[in-house]
Structure formats: structure tokens, C-alpha cells
Structure 1
């Protein structure tokens, strides 16, 4: 348990100074940063060699935090999240108080309420959304374990969370787009 606390503190310190972390999430190993810090978000795009028009996912700790960063969460979102069995990322319209370069061209943002102990506690203690994008270069396969993460990614982050390195990654989350006009679209099952 002491390791867990130390890793949370080290990750928080890195996020607060605008750094990048490599951390285990409820799905895959992720590259993370402060979702309200445009410079940090730029670093993620640069490290992944990813086109900025391709949106990134954020993690929040709970519905209260979700409501602080989305203008109007559709009621159906709570039903979907309540009954889904697997980690589910929802793309919401009209994000607020996040870095502009994190918002997609259609003024939306993908957010997942993390149920993983570490990433949930990290977001709760950070009190802001944390970027969570797979720990791979753009176009390459998502690593299924820590051992598969490329040296370029490992060397490109400011802090590597030293937990669960033997754990296999789960599958990426389901992704659903919820528009304010009531439309629901499944992007990834």
C-alpha cells in the first residue's frame, strides 16, 4: 500500500509541473498529462507523433468531476455508465475548462469515469481530468503489457508509475458519442 501512496504522490507532482506520466489505467497503459494544460497536451501529441486533429481521451474520478468539465451532460450518459459492464468512454459535446488543443474540431471531448483504483485516485487527488492515451506511437499497435511499450515512449515521459508492470493490459474501452441533440452513436464496442 505504501508503494501505491508514493506512486500517487510522484505522479501528482509530475502532473502539477506540466509533465507526462506513463501509468496503468482501467484499460491499457496510458500516457497522461494535465488535461487543462495546453503545453502538456502538446507534449503528448509530439511524443506519440500524433496529428492534433485526432482527439485524446481524458479520465475523471466521478460524475461530479465530469460535470465540472462538460457544459451539459445528457441524462442518458448516467444510464449508460451505470449499466455498462466494461470501461466505457463517452464523447460529450461542449467541454469546458480544458486545454483548447484537447477539444475535437466538432467541439467534443472523450471522457471516461475511471473505476481503476490507481487512476481513479490519481484523478480525484489531482482534481482535474487527466489525459489518457495508449502508450504507443501513432499508428502502432497498442501495447498489451508494460514490456511491449517502446523505449521511445518510456524515455519520452517524465515519470513512469512503478505499479502493475507485470499486469497485462485489458482491452481498450468502448467509445460512445452522445450528442446534445439526443443522438447516440457507438464508435468502438
Structure 2
């Protein structure tokens, strides 16, 4: 795992793409503060660039670095979530503008999975986490199900957990307004 994390950080720092395990499904990742790297993700996925991307952080303590006004309810939801939870916040900043949605919104998930949490902590910036599939195709539940074009289209493929055959699923998603109102999207 150590070699994978070190190599991922080198790739992320130079604006490259990684294929890595997360707390949900395998993801395509890049430096979430680098607009050129984000463009590469959209191209690889054949995804319209007006669709926002999710980012991972290692700790809720870092939310204030990327969201103008983090509602207290967000921290409470993160603390009690029993499965991976992505929260969409309005007023994102310090992130690549081309990964944001309407109202400069961003979906952020605090990872509790060993590899992705350690990667985010050591990289020191948020990492994009979008499903490892071509847009419109089903998301791969295991590494073996990932489209070969995706595997070949990244700069580094993490070795850790490639043999994991337990199927994983996407996170729950909640849209949370600064006034504390929310909407469950998935």
C-alpha cells in the first residue's frame, strides 16, 4: 500500500489520473484543485463537463478549507452515517472551477477507507472520486469489471485491493443548504 500511495501522490502532483479503491467503488482520481487534471477526467469518461464531480477528504476538519459555510448538520450527519455519505454543499472554493455544479456547489465525501483516507491525508488536498466507468455505462462493483479503456487511460493503477471480489456500491448523496435544509438524492 505504501508504494501505491507514494506513486499516486507523484502522479497527482504532476496533474495525472489515478485509478484507485475508495470507501465505495473504484474511482478515477485527480487533484481536485487542478482544472487541467479535471478536464482529463471528463475526457476519459466521455462525460459532459457541466456535470459536477465528487471529491474526497480525509477528515471533516478540512471542510472549511473548501466550503464557505459548513452547516453544523453536515458534521452531525458525517458523525452518524453508517455507510459512505456524500454531501453536496453550496459555496465551494479553493477547488478547480470545472468540477463544481450550480451555485458553485460540490459533493464532498469524508473517506473512512484505509487507502483513500491515507492518500488524501498525505496528498494534503482533496482528490476527485468519480466512478471508474465511461459515462452512461454501469459503475463497476469490482476492479475486474472496470472497462479496459478506463484502466489504460489513467497514469497509474493502484495494486492495493485489485483482488477484492466483494461488490461495492455508490454512496448515499444528500444536498445540504447553508440554512440546514436538505434533500436526499440517493
Name 1:18's counterpart in structure 2: 15
Residue 143 of structure 1 pairs with residue 145 of structure 2: no
Name 2:178's counterpart in structure 1: 180
Q: Gapped runs of 5+ residues in structure 2?
A: none
CA contact (8 A) 2:142 2:168 kept: no
Q: State the distance in 1 between where 2:161 and 2:60 align.
A: 26
Q: Secondary structure at the match of 1:55?
A: coil
Q: CA deviation at 1:27?
A: 0.2
Residue 116 of structure 1 pairs with residue 113 of structure 2: yes
Residue 157 of structure 1 pairs with residue 183 of structure 2: no
- Selected match of 1:129 from 126, 140, 161: 126
Q: CA deviation at 1:84?
A: 1.1
CA contact (8 A) 1:144 1:169 kept: yes
Q: CA deviation at 1:151?
A: 1.0
Q: State the distance in 2 between where 1:169 and 1:7 align.
A: 22
- Selected match of 1:107 from 104, 107, 117: 104
CA contact (8 A) 1:177 1:184 kept: yes
Q: Gapped runs of 5+ residues in structure 1?
A: none
Matches for 1:36-51 after TM superposition, within 5 Å? 36-51=33-48
- Selected match of 2:88 from 79, 88, 91: 91
Q: Secondary structure at the match of 1:41?
A: helix
Q: CA deviation at 1:51?
A: 0.6
RMSD, aligned CA: 0.8
Using structure 2 for the length normalisation, give the TM-score.
0.97
Runs of 4+ in 1 over 6 A off after TM superposition: none
Q: 1:70 to 1:57 in 2, by over 3 A?
A: same
